[in-house]
Amino acid sequence: MSGGVDSSVSAALLKRAGYDVVGAFIKVWQPEWLECSWRDERLDAMRAAAHLGIPFLTADLAAEYKQGVIDRMIAEYRAGRTPNPDVMCNREVKFGAFREWAAAQGASLIATGHYARSEGGRLLVSADADKDQTYFLWTLTGDSLAHALFPVGGMPKPEVRALARKLGLPNAAKKDSQGLCFIGKVDLKEFLARAAGDDPSTRPGAVLDMKGQRIGTHPGALFFTMGERHGFDIDRAHKTPDGAPLYVVAKDIAANTLTVAAKDAGGALPGGALSVRVSGTNWISGAPEAGRKLRARARYRAPLAPATAASIGAGTASFEFEAPQDSLTPGQSLVIYDETGRECLGGGIIEGGVL
């Protein structure tokens, strides 16, 4: 129980269904310089558990979170890649260290407030398409799903809120959490600047155009990801005549430079790729066969793009798209769904796109 409404309603639904429910709060690592929020979140979770009349425990997984999420995230940024800490958090903490901790306490199942559904060893999208979180769960395995429950996955968010109010939960009106997994709302650039230390790529550098000409400055290449349009400054002489925004299309960590460009008339950025390579693949209930028609999502909330499995190897895969994709950022997750878009099959880490 995170202290939010989704996990609290999940606990209530499980209790109503006759499960022996224990609320558990996961305490994670937080840097000394960041304002502490976990105590307030745990207090909200404790209040919800007390209201429901269920036991409450705290799992101290600070070391596992620091090593499995934060250290990996910083290493990826230093390598010029853009990781997804929420994906790592689910794999390493919630369905990794926490599941092991819960089993040691005697639990046979863990439940979360994720908007997703599990059926027969398959991971299905939530009933609420706007809140669906299967994108962050692609690293789960059939065994993980066999020991996990998603009680609110079949409900639209307004219905969850309404049930929380009906039950009189003390956090029924609490806003959804945003930001870095568990840590919450935090300025990522400030977090990286402090956590990365004296890395050259956290210092001011040059912004380049597609010809390699210097046209502006940025506060540090480490802080940017592909497709960003804010945070860097373009010299007045090089601003686009029509005021069209410029987007990051490449970055060089060693040289501490960003390359930016405007979208074309069709709304695409230069370098759109028709195929993509991924590594570290995970297939929840078996790898898709080469040639299968699928759908792929390269960013959370991005539209599902029609794709075909070009090759499936041991831990690697490649996919071909029907239309060029300009959001294929190395380090991010490419999550694969069946042709209907209703089942999450798994995914991999984007290595790069091919024109």
**Please, is 120 exposed, middle or buried when counting C-beta atoms within 10 Å of its C-beta (0-12, 13-18, 19+)?**
exposed
Q: How far is Cα 256 from Cα 235, in angstroms, rounded to an integer?
A: 18
pLDDT of residue 355: 47
- How many structural domains are present in the chain? 3
Q: Give the H or E element holding residue 247.
A: strand 247-252
pLDDT of residue 14: 98
**Are 84 and 105 in a shared domain?**
yes
Residue 183: pLDDT over 60: no
| Cβ count near 39 (within 10 Å) | 8
Tokens in use for 55? 């036991």
Q: Do both 185 and 43 map to the same domain?
A: yes
Inside any domain, residue 310: yes
Residues 326, 218, single domain; the answer is: no
Q: Quick one: pLDDT at residue 227? A: 83
Instruction: List the CATH number of the domain containing 78.
Output: 3.40.50.620
Residue 271 identity = G
Asked if 345 and 205 sit in the same domain, the reply is: no
pLDDT tens by residue, 8-53 = 999 999 999 999 999 999 998 887 777 767 888 999 999 999 999 9
Statement to judge: residues 131 and 161 lie in one domain: yes
Domain boundary among 137, 165, 189: 189
310 and 348 within one domain: yes
Check which CATH number belongs to the domain holding 311 and give it.
Answer: 2.40.30.10
Rounded distance, CA 10 to CA 286, Å? 29
194: in domain: no
Residue 329 to residue 349: CA distance in whole angstroms: 9
DSSP H helices, the chain, are 5-16, 38-52, 62-65, 71-78, 85-89, 98-104, 142-146, 157-167, 188-196
User: Can you give the CATH number for the domain in which 233 is found?
Assistant: 2.30.30.280
| CA pseudo-torsion sign 115, 314, 272, 187 | positive
- Written as one string, the DSSP assignment of 280-318 is EEEETTSPPPTT-EEEEESSTTPPPEEEEEEEE-SSEEE
Q: Does residue 251 lie in a domain region? A: yes
* CA dist list (Å): 272 to 45, 173, 213, 235: 45, 42, 21, 26
One domain for residues 324 and 240? no
The answer to whether residue 268 is domain-embedded is: no
Name the residues annotated as catalytic: 89, 181
* pLDDT > 70 in the chain, percent: 94
For residues 23 and 181, give the distance between their C-alpha atoms in angstroms, rounded to a whole number: 19
Q: What is the pLDDT of residues 91-149, one digit of tens each?
A: 999 999 999 999 999 999 999 999 999 999 999 999 999 999 999 999 999 999 999 99
| pLDDT tens-place string over residues 228-271 | 899 999 999 998 878 889 999 889 999 999 999 988 776 777 76
Q: Are residues 14 and 146 in the same domain?
A: yes
Q: pLDDT: is 55 or 196 the higher one?
A: 55
Q: Is the domain of 308 the same as that of 246?
A: no
The encoded tokens of residue 263 equal 């979208």
- Please indicate, yes or no, if residue 266 is contained in any of the structural domains: no
The dihedrals phi and psi of 127, each to the nearest 5 degrees, come to: -65, -25
The verdict on 213 and 279 lying in the same domain is no
Domain around 228: 199-261
Whether the CB-CB separation of 88 and 136 falls below 8 Å is answered with: no
Model pTM above 0.85: yes
Q: Which residue has the higher pLDDT, 108 or 272?
A: 108
129 and 39 within one domain:
yes
